[in-house]
Structure 1
Amino acid sequence: MKLDFATVLTDAWTLFKRDRDLLLRIAAPFLFLPAFALALVVPDPPMPDAAAGNNEAQAMVWADAVQTWAAAYGGWYLLAYVMSFFGTSLFYALYLDREHLDLRASLTRCLRIFPRFLLAMVIVSLPAGAGLLLYAIPGLYILGRTMLTGPALFAEAPLGALAAIRRSLVLSRGAGLPLMGLAAFSYISGWLVGAPFMMADKALRDAGEANPVALAIVDAGAAVAAMAAGIAMALIAISAYRRLVR
């Protein structure tokens, strides 16, 4: 089925305007808070030294640094991602269960389906993440084709994780490019809005004794950008799913 990029964005924006207060109350603890905590207190993972070239000794030093970082902070990253996935799944449960929004019923349903949703997101993230790291377009295309996994999981329950991914691939057949564009819109716009805040964070930390108030303000800005991108991605996926199942 043909999918119109602008129409899906309009549908998503309409949902946000109508339910803004409820969406922000959900997003604050599950999308904003984890991103804010990571930016504020968890250091970025060590990056390889580009000047070292293919030096094997330097590569081993970097690998050891990554292992040390993961042992110290990997659990916090995992917790943050699980919380953000739960917030996203709650959006799906809220909009794809019944016509009238019922937060309590949606939360109960979300708790029941969330393990399958989390498994599906992990499976999808592996090829999508690899595609984004190697070449952006394949990763965005995978994100687009699998964007409907969450909505299908909640709207067409009972579905398993793999069945929901297959359902997304079926629904998105013929609409891969518009969905890729929608995924790119959410992903890149969130990155563009958040990048200045992250650069400011790096500048403050590199300067030495960073002002904690300034650092908190800057990191809050980055977290707001991440939260906005998360809300946008969820509402776009919901709107695209509704259009494609008509």
Structure 2
Amino acid sequence: MTLRLAGLFADAKTLWQRERTLVLPVAGLFFLLPSLGMLLLMVQGAPDLESLSDQAVLLAFYQKFVEANVVPIALAYLAVDYGILALFSLYLRGQGQTLGQVMKAALRRLFPFLLLEVAVSIGFQLGFSLFIAPGLFVFARTWLAAPAYAARPEAGLIEAFKQGWVRSSGVTGLLFLLVAAMVFAGGIGAMAVASIVTGLIATAAGGGAVPEFLGYLLLSVIGAGVWTALAILRVAAYRATEPRQGM
């Protein structure tokens, strides 16, 4: 069982090209629209630019935002998780099926998938509370549990956890680095690019509601692209760690 970054990204590119006509509607509905909705909701009552550097102000705003918007936030996360499961199902069980068939199958398996994602998130948070490295290690070792469930839902959640742990055993270091890069470099880089382009749009248009909305739309497109890329990378990693059958 081997996993190399070059092969992983090449396989992910092939997967994207093969199913992009079906992937784009899923990403648009379940990644882009929830991200845009959350951004538009968040900017209402957001602190002014001068207060953005004050961590206490930002923390207070975030806590107030979460408390006031529990239901929309939960629905947004639900939509994203459903989109991820739909992409997993498309690539790992959807050969020859229409997008509607894939979506229906994903809907039937959504609740167990959510339990799996919550369990992985709890493990990550516990590890992260101890120190950054343990959290990333747990996340790397369970990163393939979700695609394992999507590939074989009939095997159950425990088997999905087992498969995720076993498949990552020989490539933990590589997955650790990949996850760390996605969590830190990917997130920071995406926000930096979005901020620069948003500023350019606002400057070129001279300010106003339209360039502001275009900036939020751009951030949402970037977010949807990140979610889509991560889902396809997980599928590629799952495929790459498929146990080889002996002669």
Q: Which moved more, 1:109-118 or 1:121-130?
A: 121-130
How far apart are the structure 1 equivalents of 2:131 and 2:52?
Answer: 19
Distance in 1, Cα, partners of 2:163 & 2:216: 38
Q: Do the aligned residues in 1 keep the contact of 2:123 with 2:139 (CA within 8 Å)?
A: no
Residue of structure 2 in register with 1:20 after alignment: 20
After the TM superposition, which of the residue ranges 81-90 and 159-168 deviates more from structure 2? 159-168
Give RMSD over aligned pairs: 3.2
Instruction: State the partner residue of 1:195.
Output: 192
Q: Judge which range, 127-136 or 34-43, deviates more.
A: 127-136
Kindly provide the CA deviation profile for residues 123-182 of structure 1, in whole angstroms up to 9, marking residues without a partner as x.
111232455577544333332221111211121221333432232111111211112233
Q: Hey, what does 1:225 align to over in structure 2?
A: 222
Structure-1-length-normalised TM-score: 0.80
Cα distance in 1, alignment partners of residues 197 and 186 from structure 2: 18
1:1-246 matches, within 5 Å, as 1-43=1-43, 68-129=64-125, 131=127, 135-187=131-183, 188-197=185-194, 211-246=208-243
- In the other structure, the counterpart of 1:206 is none
The number of aligned residues is 232
Determine the C-alpha separation between the residues in 1 that align with 2:142 and 2:54: 34
Aligned to 2:204: none
Structure 2: give runs of 5+ residues left out of the alignment. Answer: 200-206
Q: Which runs of 5+ in 1 are unaligned?
A: 53-57, 203-209
Change (3 A) 1:200 1:211: farther
How far is 1:48 from its partner? 11
Counterpart CA distance in 1 for 2:113 and 2:96 is 22
Is contact 2:124-2:138 (8 Å) kept?
yes
Compare 191-200 and 77-86 and name the one that shifted more: 191-200
8 Å Cα contact 1:32-1:226 kept in structure 2? yes
SS state at 1:96 partner: helix
Letter aligned with residue 230 of structure 1 = W
Percent identity among equivalent residues? 29
1:223 to partner: Cα distance: 1.1
Asked if structure 2 preserves the Cα contact closer than 8 Å seen for 1:182 and 1:236, the reply is no
Letter in 2 for 1:159: A
CA contact (8 A) 2:3 2:241 kept: yes
Scaled by the length of structure 2, the TM-score of the pair is 0.80
Q: 1:160 to 1:198 in 2, by over 3 A?
A: farther
Cα deviation code 1:69-106 (max 9, x no counterpart): 33312222211111001000000111111433532221
Change (3 A) 1:66 1:167: same
Q: Which amino acid letter does the alignment assign opposite residue 120 of structure 1?
A: L
Secondary structure of the corresponding residue to residue 158 of structure 1: helix
